[in-house]
Amino acid sequence: VRPIQRFYDTFAGVYDEAGRGKFQWMPPQVAQELVLPKARAGMKVLDVGIGTGQSVEKLAELGCEICGVDISERMLKLTRSKFSVFELHQGDLDQGLPMLQERLFDIVMAVGVLEFVQDIDKTLRLLSSHLKPQGWLCFTFEEFIPGHELQKDRQSPSGPGAINSPDSTLFLHHRQSVEEIQQIIANSGLKWVEQKRFQAYLKSEKLIPMFYRVVLAQKS
Ligand SMILES: C[S@@+](CC[C@H](N)C(=O)[O-])C[C@H]1O[C@@H](n2cnc3c(N)ncnc32)[C@H](O)[C@@H]1O
């Protein structure tokens, strides 16, 4: 079991409450606002790092069919209890998505998860490979921001957050610039449509503002 998996298994029980409370977890709302105008009832949606399902709640309400993958069994258990119709799989993005075989989706979501993957280039190509022609990829990434207290390094251990767990010192957050992500998207058979920077959440008891970018891209 990887530290990040143990971490989210421990976090699961208070995840929704922590995000709604003082830590103000915004990525699910911001990402869905961007992709909702493209979504229609009956569309097939893949959400990687689905967590407790926050990042597809509005798409599900609209009538999209949701398939989710997450490394944490405890997060998946909560999602199952909230959304019984979702198709859910336990899996590690760093190991690919073998359970999906060659399946294609209208929309792929990756919200608040790409900061944890070892190779974002490889992962974005993988996600692109599961899109139908003209399908939409909507994702967030943690921006590399020189001068920011916590985001000034390209990678650093997660550290204290909404919960205190020794596991948070054992996995990394990876950060990129917009230009780097744009390059990867261009090389993944995707067209860059829109992006914006936003305050994603407040980190640790010090409530340090953390900035992510949300991106919408379309498969050629
Ligand atoms: C910050 S939460 C985001 C959950 C949800 N997308 C949201 O926006 O609320 C990160 C999620 O990614 C999952 N995760 C982290 N690393 C992963 C990996 N390598 N493969 C699959 N899921 C992973 C965690 O278990 C957790 O549920």
Quick: pLDDT tens for 157-198: 999 999 989 999 999 999 999 999 999 999 999 999 999 999
What's the average model confidence in pLDDT over 34-54? 98
State residue 178's pLDDT score. Answer: 98
Is 92's C-beta closer than 6 angstroms to any atom of ligand 1? yes
Q: Is the CB of 67 under 6 A from ligand 1?
A: no
CA distance 124 to 132: 15
CB under 8 Å to 44, separation ≥6 — which residues? Answer: 64, 65, 67, 104, 105, 106, 107
Phi, psi of 94 (to 5 degrees): -65, -15
Residue 121, pLDDT score: 98
Whether the CB of 51 sits within 6 Å of ligand 1 = yes
pLDDT band for position 206 (cuts 50, 70, 90): very high
pLDDT, position 100: 98
CA distances from 197 to 71, 72, 215 (A): 27, 28, 9
pLDDT value for 153:
98
Q: What is the mean pLDDT of residues 108-117?
A: 98
Q: Which residues pair with 217 in a beta bridge?
A: 137, 192
Looking at residue 63, its pLDDT comes to: 98
pLDDT in tens, 123-153: 999 999 999 999 999 999 999 999 999 999 9
Mean pLDDT, the chain, rounded, equals 98
Residue nearest to atom 16 of ligand 1 (CA): 116
Q: Which of 60, 82, 155 is nearest to 114 (CA)?
A: 155
Give the other-Cβ count within 10 Å of 192's Cβ: 14
**Closest of 38, 64, 66, 37 to residue 51, by C-alpha:** 66
Q: In the prediction, which pLDDT does 181 show?
A: 98
Burial (0-12, 13-18, 19+ Cβ within 10 Å), 25: buried
Supply the residue whose CA is at minimum distance from atom 9 of ligand 1.
54
CB 71 near ligand 1, within 6 Å: yes
Whose C-alpha lies nearest to ligand 1, atom 10? 113
